Amino acid sequence: MADEKPSLSYLLLLFFSLHAFFIHSAYSQSFIGVNYGQVADNLPPPSTTVTLLKSTTIAKVRLYGADPAILRALSGTGIGVVIGASNGEIPSLSADPAAASQWIASNVLPFYPATQIILISVGNEVFSSGDPNLPSQLLPAMQNLHSALQAASIADKIKVSTVHSMAVLGQSDPPSSGAFQASLTDTMKPLLGFLQSTGSPFTINPYPYFAYRSDTRPETLAFCLFQPNQGRFDAGSRITYMNMFDAQVDAVRSALNAAGSKDTEIVIAETGWPYNGDADEVGATVENAKAYNGGLISHLRSMVGTPLMPGKSVDTYIFALYDEDLKPGPTSERSFGLFRPDGTVTYDVGLAKSGQTAAPAVGPPSSPSATKGPAGYCVPRPGVSDAQLQGNLDYACGQGIDCTPIQPGGACYLPNTVASHAAYAMNLFYQKSEKKPLDCDFSKTAALIPGNPSYNNCIYPGS
């Protein structure tokens, strides 16, 4: 009967279904995405690429267009997809609502919902494109596409936004002073109003690599690469930032807040680090690319968020899935790929699913090695701040050690504190290293002790 109360068995089934859903969500790492560009002549077919994606923890893909072969290949995978309308399409989409309706009819409706399209990006870095007409045409194009989605009754499922470069900020350092360029006020204000009214994200491309290119001091490199460093104090917010990614994202958060868009979500449409470059492209090395992307992924997995947006990882699309060998410009432009066309990794940042299921190291300590440095366990010194420990945690887990045990559901996840997770990761990093004094230094925040600390109710790997 319609007014019959749910049975106990039904409620139990519902409870366990929801429990399974949230457990699955914890492991899906839905905040990690990748950019899939196609300016190349050596890429594998879309079906091969989708097989590669399914072998990783990558949960979202950003396309720069709406290639039908790729969209068909992604059907049924559950991978979230961002599709793009190019800068060249903006004038027609802006001028003619029928053109926008046709764009949706051609690029969305034949594939959705089997292919999980979640966002349409209208243009790319329009405000720094050099075309003086595009900025005024951008919002009407977005509005027309949104109206076409409404007509198809899917505007609540697929959002419309546009991707910005960090150049839209007139001020970003320190993060608390973040503000949009004054010259963009007339254009940016209604655009932000559209995003807020439609529940669409503000998407932006922060690149700590370019920040380092303009300031090549060693301490800046460590700050950009999620490596142990002294941090940078923001007097406006009284926050010490331990990495450039957080600082850049929070500068965007401050700018949005100052513009009255406190509820607008931020999505990182691109970020990455090149592994190769010309002689004058300082910092473009495999070691630095692995450190940045590995540290970034570890930071996102920690779910610590940023100081202004704690407790939730910002959706982040890493640039890029593959190198694009036909791109013009310096060597670095063709050297961002995480994978080679044959599916092998350019360098390993722990994205393979098999790396997420490795058995936790909870066995008895091994005996000291006669060929290595001092025996013992590397632990944080007393009084070290959570911000510094989070930086140490991101760095250690970004170096390829198995941090599965301190992720949700892992044997050493509880207690869920920065201190206990950092202690586990710092010690494991030391045990897997050559055990030189610097391997348990972490900018003077760690020390060796003789006894097993057994944090997290785990037996730590020992010397």
Annotated catalytic sites, by residue? 125, 270
Contact between 146 and 160 (Cβ < 8 Å): yes
390's CB contacts (< 8 A; 6+ apart) are 242, 299, 302, 304, 418, 422
- Say how many residues make up the chain: 463
**How far, in Å, are 175, 411, 429, 459 from residue 363 at the CA level?**
44, 12, 16, 7
- 188/256 Cα distance (integer angstroms): 10
Give the burial class of 168: count Cβ atoms within 10 A of its Cβ; 0-12 exposed, 13-18 middle, 19 or more buried: buried
Contact between 45 and 72 (Cβ < 8 Å): no
- 103/97 Cα distance (integer angstroms): 10
Contact between 356 and 404 (Cβ < 8 Å): yes
Give the burial class of 48: count Cβ atoms within 10 A of its Cβ; 0-12 exposed, 13-18 middle, 19 or more buried: middle
Return the beta strands (E) in 377-438 as ranges.
377-380
- 128/210 Cα distance (integer angstroms): 16
Contact between 228 and 392 (Cβ < 8 Å): yes
**How far, in Å, are 109, 267, 288, 320, 337 from residue 293 at the CA level?**
34, 17, 9, 11, 11
Find residue 259's DSSP bridge partners. none
Q: Are strands 202-205 and 316-318 parallel, antiparallel or unpaired?
A: unpaired
- 108/324 Cα distance (integer angstroms): 25
- 414/457 Cα distance (integer angstroms): 8
Closest CA relative to residue 64, chosen from 102, 113, 119: 119
Greatest CA separation found in the chain? 76
- Residues 243, 447, 383, 233: what is their CA dihedral angle, to the nearest 10 degrees? -20
Alpha carbon of residue 406 to chain centroid: 19
**How far, in Å, are 213, 303, 397, 441 from residue 394 at the CA level?**
22, 11, 5, 15
Residue recorded with tokens 């409404």: 150
235's CB contacts (< 8 A; 6+ apart) are 174
